[in-house]
Amino acid sequence: MSPRAAADDGRGSRRRHPTIVDVAERAGVSKSLVSLVLRDAPNVSDEKRAAVTKAAEEIGYRPNAVARSLVRRRSNLIGVMVSDLHNPYFTEVIDGIQEAARGSGYHALFNTGGRAAVEEDEALDTLLQLRTDGIVMAGPVLSPRRIAAVAASVPVVVVAKHSRSPAHDSITNDDRMGARIAVDHLVSLGHRRIAHVDGGRGAGSAQRRAGFLDAMDRHGLRSSARIVTGAFTEEGGRDGVTTLLGDRRGVTAVFVGNDLAAVGALDAFDDHGLRVPADMSLVGYDNIALAGLGHIDLTTIDQPRRDMGVTAVRLLLERHDEDRRSARHLVVPPSLVVRGSTGPPARIGSA
Amino acid sequence: MSPRAAADDGRGSRRRHPTIVDVAERAGVSKSLVSLVLRDAPNVSDEKRAAVTKAAEEIGYRPNAVARSLVRRRSNLIGVMVSDLHNPYFTEVIDGIQEAARGSGYHALFNTGGRAAVEEDEALDTLLQLRTDGIVMAGPVLSPRRIAAVAASVPVVVVAKHSRSPAHDSITNDDRMGARIAVDHLVSLGHRRIAHVDGGRGAGSAQRRAGFLDAMDRHGLRSSARIVTGAFTEEGGRDGVTTLLGDRRGVTAVFVGNDLAAVGALDAFDDHGLRVPADMSLVGYDNIALAGLGHIDLTTIDQPRRDMGVTAVRLLLERHDEDRRSARHLVVPPSLVVRGSTGPPARIGSA
DNA sequence: ACGGAACCTTGGAACGTTCCAGACGTGAGA
DNA sequence: TCTCACGTCTGGAACGTTCCAAGGTTCCGT
């Protein structure tokens, strides 16, 4: 009598999982044949195939991915470290990753670092020890050094954070261009005195600031461009606008660093009795779901986040399956989404 | 010369990961000793311990969790299937899970099913094949049958969906109680004619409806209670309110099924020129981040989501480590969060 | 009738760990 | 001096797969 026949695992607990050998015994074939059938290889007789399938079904066999990855030395897993799951920006990227992974025979598994470097490090370590075939880092706050170190042992693609590292790939949107689009839109509506409440030291903030100035310049409005410091939070937007309104010189439109901050701005305008868009136009950035709510209805700059997720997986597979060695840093174009927070400037007060 | 010394893996690609044997060779000890040191066992001389640690460090050794789980027959992984990552409700539950897992030497790994049963099934299969030590299902839309089937091979706890299955544990908030709290709050402000825009067939919707009627009854307001059908979406709330306002009989307050729908309701009130809370009080449910935004400022019912996540992990470990066999179905109390969307009813129109 | 190709099936090694049983000192107690 | 215990270290089996080389059949062409 085989030792396995001794039933449960001794702790009197949950019965051990059936293995390929159990299936083989029941079907009266070798374990190798079972393996072949389960991976549906050609050159297996219909008879045996049926017997194995039936036996597997009957005992509720479920392949052990652990043993499989060990011997194959690949897990078919894509690990995704998301810096912050609370940020709705990432959830759509995740959708794209999930979709692309499923479509290529991989499974995506997520992790989060709660915007803290130590935790991100731990999360990455888990992914690394699991021997995932590739790692996506969504908006990491980790140091470039550490990211490069991870990239030394597994393909890595960084999403939503600019990088020029030769060690890994990255994919970001063109923040400069996005800011320019926002300004162009406002100018086309007739605005001249436009302010920017920036995102402080947040990711992409510097580029958006540069794009803003750049665009104002092109329209010959450099002198009426105004920038105040904010942050990528509701509060950052509120404070920025408050500062701005303290000494505004006929500003009729504001481009805010991101949507969350724009909502804060909306709030501040409310407090000052300014109506949007009648008295003040407002443009955000990112097009998070929030911006589309009827009650907020924010004109904003959209990043093709889902596509970015899909592309991230593609980049990973190029490295893993096609053995690409050189780094690729992709920059995708953002686009304008016009909603109800922008309109022509009020006649009164226009210079 | 050992075959391993042949450098890379033949595909000319990424160098293979160093193993415990590589560390052993370099440190001049057996692989068993390396294993002992790495799991810092007692009874290892300081000298050897140092040698092993140094060697591991030098060659950048990182344990292979796959091999480890295979032989130990436990992965120290908690798999979390989240039905919908877009729903901010879950992100806080996730925080709790992550925190509790870390605190107990486990790692949490997430998955998502995009609110579709087939995809949820696939996601669970991935988790099952990975041999996670336990699975948390956050708001599954999967059939109870299928959930029970999964629970037959691994401990399962369902979060945010009522269940009485003997096969697994669950943790939910007391929706009846939450609805009662909402009504009590409105009544205490002086409201009498209160309506409920429900969540249709959404999870917990029936209980919230029952709690609403129950509370109205207790206050002797059964006859002025009004319920209209909605859904747990912005649109559901908007439509519900529109229906309601079509034939309102002096309604001064509305309790909406969840926060998202409440935002839709806010919108509909706007459209009808009703000011909140001056003309109409509004209470939501769930206390998602959105509700706290200054611009929305919604009074709502809070579920202790983070705690629910922590508790879910605890339930899992009770089964896995302490071998509990009987099912536990926990119900936690929700609480009121008063913000700016509720106030006393307007004098005009009060009966 | 014979060789070999084509097809199907199988045993065993390997993947990188953990764990068990036992080997090898060394020092204490008899 | 001989045992025995203790502390330290090691080899080998096991975990559940995949994959390779090779073993059998069957069938075809000559």
User: Can you give the residue ranges of every domain in chain A?
Assistant: 3-63, 74-173+305-332, 175-303
Q: Do A263 and B91 touch (CB under 8 A)?
A: no
Asked if residue A64 keeps its beta carbon closer than 7 A to nucleic acid strand D, the reply is yes
Per CATH, which fold does A175-303 belong to? Rossmann fold (3.40.50)
Residue A351 has what pLDDT?
A: 39
Taking CB atoms and an 8 Å cutoff, what residues of chain A touch B62?
Answer: 125, 128-129, 153
- Mean pLDDT over A233-259 rounds to 91
Name the residue closest to D18, CA to C1': A71
Structure tokens at B206: 């029936």
A41, with CB counted inside 10 A (0-12, 13-18, 19+), is exposed
Residue A12 has pLDDT above 70, yes or no: no
Cα dihedral across residues B154, B155, B158, B159: positive or negative: negative
Residue B148 has what pLDDT?
A: 97
Residue A113 has pLDDT above 70, yes or no: yes
Distance B19 CA to C25 C1' (A): 29
- Mean pLDDT over B221-231 rounds to 95
Residue A323 has what pLDDT?
A: 86
Q: Which nucleotides of C are covered by protein (CB under 7 A)?
A: 7-12, 14-20
Write out pLDDT tens, residues B85-97: 988 999 999 999 9
Question: Is residue B313 very low, low, confident or very high in pLDDT (cuts 50, 70, 90)?
Answer: very high
Question: Is residue A14 very low, low, confident or very high in pLDDT (cuts 50, 70, 90)?
Answer: low
Q: Which of A39-48, A214-223, B129-138 has the lowest mean pLDDT?
A: A39-48
Residue B198 has what pLDDT?
A: 97
Element (DSSP H or E) covering residue A49: helix A46-59
Nearest nt to A73, CA vs C1'?
Answer: C15
Percent of chain B clearing pLDDT 90 (strictly above)? 86
Name the residue closest to D9, CA to C1': B33
Taking CB atoms and an 8 Å cutoff, what residues of chain B touch A266?
Answer: 295
Cα dihedral across residues A57, A64, A138, B156: positive or negative: positive
Taking CB atoms and an 8 Å cutoff, what residues of chain B touch A14?
Answer: 153-155
Q: Do B62 and A94 touch (CB under 8 A)?
A: no
Residue B152 has what pLDDT?
A: 94
- Phi first, then psi, for residue B134 (nearest 5°) are -170, 155
Of B227, B300, B213, B208, nearest to B263 by C-alpha is B300
Could you list the beta-strand ranges (E) of chain A.
77-82, 107-112, 134-138, 156-159, 169-173, 194-197, 226-228, 253-256, 281-283, 300-302, 329-332, 335-337
Taking CB atoms and an 8 Å cutoff, what residues of chain B touch A72?
Answer: none
User: Rounded to the nearest 10 degrees, what angle do helices A205-218 and A175-188 cross at?
Assistant: 40
The CATH number given to B74-173+305-332 is 3.40.50.2300
Residue A336 has pLDDT above 50, yes or no: yes
| Angle value at C-alpha A14, between A13 and A18, nearest 5 degrees | 135
Residue A350 has what pLDDT?
A: 41
Distance A38 CA to D18 C1' (A): 12
Q: Which nucleotides of D are covered by protein (CB under 7 A)?
A: 7-12, 14-20
Residue A348 has what pLDDT?
A: 52
Measure in Å the smallest separation between the Cα of B101 and chain A Cα atoms: 12
Write out pLDDT tens, residues B232-285: 999 999 999 999 998 767 899 999 999 999 999 999 999 899 999 999 999 999
Residue B9 has pLDDT above 50, yes or no: no
- Mean pLDDT over A152-170 rounds to 96
pLDDT top residue among A323 and B257: B257
Percent of chain A clearing pLDDT 90 (strictly above)? 86
Percent of chain B clearing pLDDT 70 (strictly above)? 94
- The CATH superfamily assigned to A3-63 is lambda repressor-like DNA-binding domains (1.10.260.40)
Q: Which of A241-255, A278-292, B105-119, B179-193 has the lowest mean pLDDT?
A: A241-255
Q: Do B65 and A129 touch (CB under 8 A)?
A: yes
Is there a common fold for B74-173+305-332 and B175-303? yes
Residue B101 has pLDDT above 50, yes or no: yes
Mean pLDDT of all residues belonging to chain A = 92
- Mean pLDDT over A86-108 rounds to 95
